[in-house]
Amino acid sequence: MAVYELQNTDNNTKARAGVLHTIHGDVETPIFMPVGTAASVKSLSPQDLIDCTAQIILGNAYHLHLRPGEDIVERLGGLSKFSSWNGPVLTDSGGFQVFSLADRRKITDDGVEFRSHLDGSKLYISPEKSIEIQIKLGASVMMCFDECVSNPCEYAYVEQSVDRTMRWAKRCKETKKDNGQLLFGIIQGGIYRDLRKKSAEQIVDTGFDGYAVGGLSVGEPNEVMYEITDMMTEYMPADSARYLMGVGTPEDIVTAIGLGIDMFDCVMPTRNARNGLLFTSKGKLHIKREEYKMSDEPVDDECDCYTCKNFSRGYLRHLYKSGEILALRLNSLHNTRYYLSLVNGARNAIKLNSYSEYKNEFFNKINGGS
């Protein structure tokens, strides 16, 4: 059986619907992956995620390596059993920490030396080490160790980074075991189109179970992100899953699906929920505002989540202003369900060959249309 089964392609856009087959179950795409960095999507239980229609979640090899450690996770049955999440898990290789921990790391061609953000102790992650960690974690989908550069970044350095990412990808592939775990290659290249093309061609030529676009949503204008994403899907095989890493807003996701992307992840729904920002079919809602103090309306009358079916804006504002833990949970439930409803709706529209209409209706609503 093929790793990825393409089922539908919209006639008027590049939007696709398909199925990713993993050792822990199938994933229908397009899909959004809630981020569970430390084997937990903050404030939500596995049953909450199931109720939100999550199919796959994301964990992070770097953070899980620090605590509790991959050996402990392996001994306790791997991420799925360890966290009681019985569905697929994709693990980020730790490559993003090459970017986010720039002030406490040193990169060489062999790997990256880190200073732990927890206690300052020295860590070393190489491509081989990253894959070994992810194998022990029991990930359904592992990611190649890569270098994500900042924006702006000089051309000469990005070129070196693309070459390094390619060498690391080959080492990751050589380390991978034939045990059913999937391995995705990552395309880098910053905002430079020729380097993106070079990276895409090299990564695809090496051959992986799926392909990801990394290094976007790191400060570049939206139009540049969309242009590069559109360009990259022309180089990514039609019979493989396509993953846009770390993106993003509902607008970004709806746009990128139309450009041919299948998979997304971002901390935005849960992080914003903890800060009182909720996503709705009519745009963003800041629940802490005074105007919601007496409101008996749900957050979103088009949402079927537990929060919207049972609680008013007035009550949610009260919880948030009072510092109640329940506020974080109910807000996170709503935002997570909203994101998953968004991709579920996109998938259904693609199957009906009506993605353009779905996208237009989405933007019309959030921009204040009827």
Q: Are strands 263-265 and 31-33 parallel, antiparallel or unpaired?
A: parallel
Q: Which long-range contacts (CB under 8 A, 24 or more apart) does 113-122 make?
A: 114/62, 116/66, 118/66, 118/67
Catalytic one of 209, 252, 265, 300: 265
Catalytic one of 92, 146, 252, 262: 92
How many CB atoms are located within 10 Å of the residue 173 CB? 17
Place of tokens 């996109």: 346
The whole-angstrom separation of Cα 210 and Cα 362 is: 29
Place of tokens 């833990």: 325
Confirm whether 92 is a catalytic residue: yes
Select from 248, 141, 231 the least CA-distant residue to 184: 141
Q: Are strands 277-280 and 263-265 parallel, antiparallel or unpaired?
A: unpaired
Residues 6+ apart with CB under 8 A from 317: 287, 288, 289, 292, 293, 295
- H or E segment and range at residue 283: strand 283-286
DSSP classification of residue 290: G
Q: Measured between alpha carbons, how far apart are the two ends of the chain, in Å?
A: 45
How many CB atoms are located within 10 Å of the residue 290 CB? 8
Q: Which long-range contacts (CB under 8 A, 24 or more apart) does 114-118 make?
A: 114/62, 116/66, 118/66, 118/67
String of DSSP letters for 190-245: TT-HHHHHHHHHHHHHH--SEEEE-S-SSSS-HHHHHHHHHHHHTTS-TTSEEEET
Which residues carry out catalysis?
A: 92, 265
